[in-house]
Amino acid sequence: MKKRILVPVIGLSLWLSSMTAFGAGFTAGTYEASAQGLGGAVTVTMTMDETSITDVAIEGADETPEIGGAAIETLQAAILEAQSADVDGVAGATITSTAVLDAAKDCLAQAAGGEEAAGEEAQEAGTEKEYPNKEAALPDWYKSSEKNAQAAQDFAPRVQTMENGVQVQDTPWDDRGWNNTFMDADMRGCNACHVLEDIVTQMESYHGVVYYKYNSTQTLATCLMCHSFYETPLRDTIHATHMGNAAFQSMGGSCNSCHYITMEGEYERWDYVKYDHLKGITDIAAEDAQIEVTYDQDVLTPADQMFYKSPKVVIKEPSDWLTDDSQIVPEMYEEWTINVSGDVDNPFSMTLPEMVDTFELHSQVQSSQCCINGTGQALIYQAEITGIYLKDIFEYAGVHDDVTTFNVICDDSYGTGHNQYPLNWDFVLENDGMLVLEMNGEPIPADQGYPAAVWVANSSAGNAEKFVTDLIVTKEEDPQHWPLPGYFVDPATGETFSKPNMGVLSTWSGTIFPAGETIHLEGFADAWDEPIEYMEYSLDHGETWIKIDTPDNDRRKWTYWYLDFTPPTDARGAYLLRMRATSRQEDGELRTAKVNTDFLINVQ
């Protein structure tokens, strides 16, 4: 084997091009040459017969595997196919490509007796001088494409593998690592450091917890909803517990960890605006987007995907909470007693079997969205509920004509035994309030209130009381009515948070999808007590929208949508699906969501 280290020769490329173009012969044999790559020497070994290249082998053990290594594989095949070193380099791997092609040209020169011929070519060139380009003339720091490629690799976004094997990347990839090098994106926002369900259970004082069952991440959006009506703003608690926290300080935590600071000095919530500032997201105008959307209002949620909220205060030890179907025993249903009282002529108590024998059962499909469900969050489901209408129960009890208020006693309360969200009795009648005994044709799941719950249409899941024992109607001088249909207001803007609401339920934002395939997503639009008028989707940060009308929408049910999106190329990249819904208010005015839902799509 003939072997040498590459020494540049003026005019060599021109000479080799003319030799290969006119089919000049080679001396059969195996030749080897090396040139300096990004990480070390790159060695090309070529085997030739008298007229062609029969084999090419390239070694570059010190090149970056994902960039330089991939370029080596590409160039190895390209040189053999072209029967020449006159092929294009690989974008993003310029240094490695240059080394491979220079070494390959040297091998060809050796096989063609190129040492002498190159010298003759140099003499013929006379006094012509080959000037170096800018990258060669300036120091190594100028080599922008190589440095960007290396930064993109070194500061690649963090990827999490979920329990079902799905990979999730919250930060879009970009070709120079900008998002993490300069924006520190992977270390900003609540979910960069916290699993919110864990945080609230680890607090020194009691804090309720909700568990999503759909493939969705609980975010700041739900915290903001829940805390919007407390006297102490959430921001006071968050700032105090972070800025004085040693662990937060040791991580280099600062205001930028949670905020984006505008040119005007305004502090915006990073989780809400990050995708407007990160790079690597490809925009597609609505007219160019390959999107198909359908919807169905009758989709039911399997029991194992219904969200669960812990009891509102500790009136029982956690070990006594009914959260798993294995805890259910037949005796519980047989012995469970419902007490009916208040302003009625005939208060009574019956076991559940007695009530089923006494009253007619009815079924209806109804959505249940938690009153604190934040923008795009998954505290929602839909079920077919079966039970006894409350109007039938209280007619049997001889309800007085002047009652104003309906309430319950249950284990799912705020410590008083009573639900703190009483409802107007006429509202309960108009919206088919029901003592629920079954969901989706099965006994109520343990974590949804087995063996008896109360549901009222056009109110929130906060009024769907679990483990109910007492039903009460009263006449109040100052009746309270708390249907909680998503009207919590953001104190920072004065606008409702998430009414109407819209989100993805089929997979996590940031999911990595395989290139070359159509992406399928499923999700919901819902406005509690208002019908959805239309849904909108955008793939260019909200500049243009695809509108999907939803005529004759039933406000008691969610609008469950299916979306298929075909990316325009098979190239690695990211797309932002921005969503919003519009509902019709009771007075006929339209209400469009003030906060959009953002869903990141990664393709590679």
Residue % of the chain over a pLDDT of 70: 87
Looking at residue 246, what is its pLDDT? 87
Range scoring the smallest mean pLDDT among 127-136, 166-175, 236-245: 127-136
Task: Report residue 415's pLDDT band, with 50, 70 and 90 as the boundaries.
Answer: very low
Q: What average pLDDT score do residues 137-166 get? A: 81
Looking at residue 313, what is its pLDDT? 54
Looking at residue 6, what is its pLDDT? 42
Looking at residue 480, what is its pLDDT? 84
**Percent helix, strand and coil across the chain, each rounded to 5?**
30, 25, 45
Range scoring the smallest mean pLDDT among 121-130, 167-176, 449-458, 496-505: 121-130
Element (H, E) at 75: helix 70-82
Does residue 493 register a pLDDT over 60? yes
Looking at residue 127, what is its pLDDT? 45
Q: What does DSSP say about strands 468-474 and 337-342: parallel, antiparallel, or unpaired?
A: parallel
Does residue 388 register a pLDDT over 90? yes
The pTM for the full model equals 0.76
Residue 478's contacts (CB-CB under 8 Å, 6 or more residues apart) are none
Cβ atoms 532, 506 nearer than 8 A: no
Q: What average pLDDT score do residues 517-527 get? A: 98
Whole-Å CA distances, 190 to 144, 260, 270, 509: 34, 13, 9, 15
Q: What average pLDDT score do residues 117-136 get? A: 46
Looking at residue 571, what is its pLDDT? 87
**pLDDT tens digit sequence for 69-101:** 888 999 999 999 999 998 988 876 777 888 899
Range scoring the smallest mean pLDDT among 65-69, 491-495, 512-516: 491-495
Q: Which of the 8 DSSP states describes residue 21? A: H
Looking at residue 68, what is its pLDDT? 81
Helices (runs of H) and strands (runs of E) counted in the chain: 17, 30
Whole-Å CA distances, 139 to 92, 134, 143, 150: 19, 9, 8, 17
Residue 455's contacts (CB-CB under 8 Å, 6 or more residues apart) are 366, 368, 385, 387, 433, 434, 436, 463, 464
Looking at residue 420, what is its pLDDT? 59
Looking at residue 319, what is its pLDDT? 63
Q: What is the mean pLDDT of the chain?
A: 86
Looking at residue 203, what is its pLDDT? 83
CB-count burial class (<10 Å; 0-12, 13-18, 19+) for 267:
middle
Looking at residue 133, what is its pLDDT? 53
Residue bearing the bigger pLDDT, 18 or 170: 170
The one-letter code for the residue type at 283 is D
**pLDDT tens digit sequence for 95-123:** 788 889 989 998 888 888 754 444 444 44
**pLDDT tens digit sequence for 178-194:** 999 999 999 999 999 88
CATH class, range 2-136: alpha beta
Residue 150's contacts (CB-CB under 8 Å, 6 or more residues apart) are 38, 64, 67
Q: What average pLDDT score do residues 540-564 get? A: 98
Quickly tell me which residue has 């790159």 as its tokens: 42
**pLDDT tens digit sequence for 3-58:** 443 433 333 444 444 444 334 478 889 999 998 877 788 999 999 898 899 999 99
The one-letter code for the residue type at 409 is I
b/e sequence 583-598, b meaning 16+ C-beta within 10 Å: bbeeeeeebebebbbb
Each domain of the chain, given as residue ranges in start order, spans: 2-136, 176-275, 286-299+491-603, 310-474
Task: Report residue 448's pLDDT band, with 50, 70 and 90 as the boundaries.
Answer: very high
Looking at residue 97, what is its pLDDT? 87
Looking at residue 336, what is its pLDDT? 96
Does residue 137 register a pLDDT over 70? no
Task: Report residue 398's pLDDT band, with 50, 70 and 90 as the boundaries.
Answer: very high
Residue bearing the bigger pLDDT, 150 or 306: 306
Cβ atoms 136, 114 nearer than 8 A: no
Q: Please choose, from the candidates 564, 579, 567, 577, the residue with its C-alpha nearest in 3D space to the C-alpha of residue 292.
A: 564
Looking at residue 294, what is its pLDDT? 98
> What CATH topology corresponds to 310-474?
Sulfite Oxidase; Chain A, domain 2 (3.90.420)
DSSP states along 499-543: SSEEEE-SS-TTBEE-TTS-EEEEEEEE-TTS-EEEEEEEBSTTS
**pLDDT tens digit sequence for 210-235:** 889 999 999 988 888 888 777 667 88
Q: What average pLDDT score do residues 233-252 get? A: 86
Architecture category of domain 286-299+491-603 in CATH: Sandwich (2.60)
